[in-house]
Amino acid sequence: MTVAIGLTALATGCGVSGDDEVTLRLVAADYGDSAANTTKKYWDDLVSSYEADHPGVEIDVTVYSWNDVDRKVKEMVDAGNPPDMAQIGAYSDYAAAGRLYPASEVLSIPTQADFVSQFVRAGEVDGQQYGIPFAASTRLLFYNKALFQQAGITKPPTTREELAEDAAALKADGVKYPFALPLGPEEAQAETMQWLLAGDGGYTDTVGSYSIDSAQNIDTFTWLKDELVGKDLTGPVAPGKLNRAAAFAAFADGQVGMVNGHPSLMKMAAKKGVKFGMVPLPGTEGPSRSVMGVTDWMTAFRKNGHRDEVGDFLDYVYNDKNVLAFSREYDLLPVTTSASAAMSASPQDKDLEPFLEQLPLSELYPVGKTSWPAVSADIKKRIGSAVTPGGSPAGVLRQLQTAATAAQAAE
């Protein structure tokens, strides 16, 4: 789905007029799960309030689904027509190509200093911050309490063997998706990373080189193939065809026993009356010691200039009021320390506390590597085939490793 909106707004604080009028283009991702809560509405309200005090610059905001937004921006860049700002999933390849303003050239010092420190580090290429964090989340295992009770399961799993046993009990009780395993192209890189971390592996080793085909990772995906997918415990849709949005929707409809989820799933499930619990993803011998954290990125492209106008608007985007409004609307975690502190202290945000507690210790994608966008795209394309009946987890992971090593060498 593509939602496009043209909104009039913004400039510098003093406003501009006549020949000085500027048009800024912002491309953003849609965090909503339906037309009723599309992120179009968030940007509509934000820009409308901004333009009341900052006339003179026209802002065209286009909102794309997460399935499309990164590709759409790449097409614009490749065509020589990048937007002024893009809120997307990766930034490092554009930074390495010299296409982005550093954060220090567009943001005020107070705004830049307020970001959570791990996001600042993750946003750096060669020691310079180019990726501006926009929204964050961590992941937990969600389970349907009613389905667990009906299947005779008395407590959530703490190891992956217990998870498989619980999934088998759910299947025997007629649950459509005992464990929903979304390895479809929407967000396969996230589901994959969660399982790799729970299996004491990950995308990179201790020195930052790709280690996709490590022994731990091969063991993890062999287990997924043999113990979950191979025993028909992941539902009627093949994992490689199941997207995260569809898995979440099925959980909210009461059709899923367990699924890995981020905070927005809480609201979706609660709206449908699903009683759920949340625990860390089970690992080989107990709850996973490592947790995946994710942040999405705002970027400011150099080509069209307008540095001052872009910076003035982004300072407004990142004030506490707007950061909290976005985080609360979409059940995501703030990327600024001041908004995080406000959320931690607020009774209305108590449901997010388990995710907020995980954030400081979470591991992020290797987004600072300029090869990561290509590696991530390759994972989305290939990883689902690793768990098919005729698939080879070791073979697929080695293919991914070979391509990642070559991409890293070209950085």
Question: Could you tell me the CATH number of the domain that includes residue 148?
Answer: 3.40.190.10
Same domain, 107 and 177: no
Same domain, 170 and 62: no
Q: pLDDT-derived band of residue 16, with 50, 70 and 90 as boundaries? A: very low
- Closest CA relative to residue 290, chosen from 378, 200, 222, 369: 200
Q: Which of 344, 361, 378 is the last residue of a domain?
A: 361
**Residue 171, amino acid:** K
- Closest CA relative to residue 208, chosen from 375, 3, 388, 321: 375
Question: Residue 131 CB: number of other CB atoms within 10 A?
Answer: 26
Same domain, 125 and 8: yes
> What are residue 21's phi and psi, to 5 degrees?
-65, 145
pLDDT at 3 over 50: no
Q: Which of 361, 382, 400 is the last residue of a domain?
A: 361
Q: Tokens 């949005």, residue?
A: 245
The total domain count for the chain is: 2
What is the mean pLDDT of the segment spanning 15-37? 78
Q: What is the reported pLDDT for 19?
A: 52
pLDDT at 12 over 70: no
Q: What is the reported pLDDT for 9?
A: 34
Decide if 143 contacts 276 (C-beta within 8 A). Answer: yes
Q: Tokens 């065509």, residue?
A: 79
Has this prediction a pTM greater than 0.85?
no
Same domain, 334 and 377: no
- Domain with 27, as residue range(s), is 2-130+294-361
DSSP 8-state assignment for residue 12: S
What is the mean pLDDT of the segment spanning 351-362? 85
Same domain, 334 and 373: no
Same domain, 339 and 221: no
Q: Give the separation between CA 189 and CA 373, rounded to whole angstroms.
A: 11
SS3 letters across 270-289: HHCCCCEEEECCEECCCECC
Same domain, 245 and 168: yes
Quick: pLDDT tens for 242-280. 999 999 999 999 999 999 998 889 988 999 999 999 999
Same domain, 23 and 87: yes
Same domain, 240 and 319: no
Same domain, 79 and 22: yes
Same domain, 92 and 174: no
- Closest CA relative to residue 112, chosen from 382, 318, 350: 318
Most confident of 25-39, 146-160, 289-303, 363-377: 146-160
DSSP 8-state assignment for residue 227: I
Residues 6+ apart with CB under 8 A from 169: 151, 152, 153
Quick: pLDDT tens for 96-129. 899 999 999 999 999 999 999 889 989 998 889 9
Same domain, 68 and 185: no
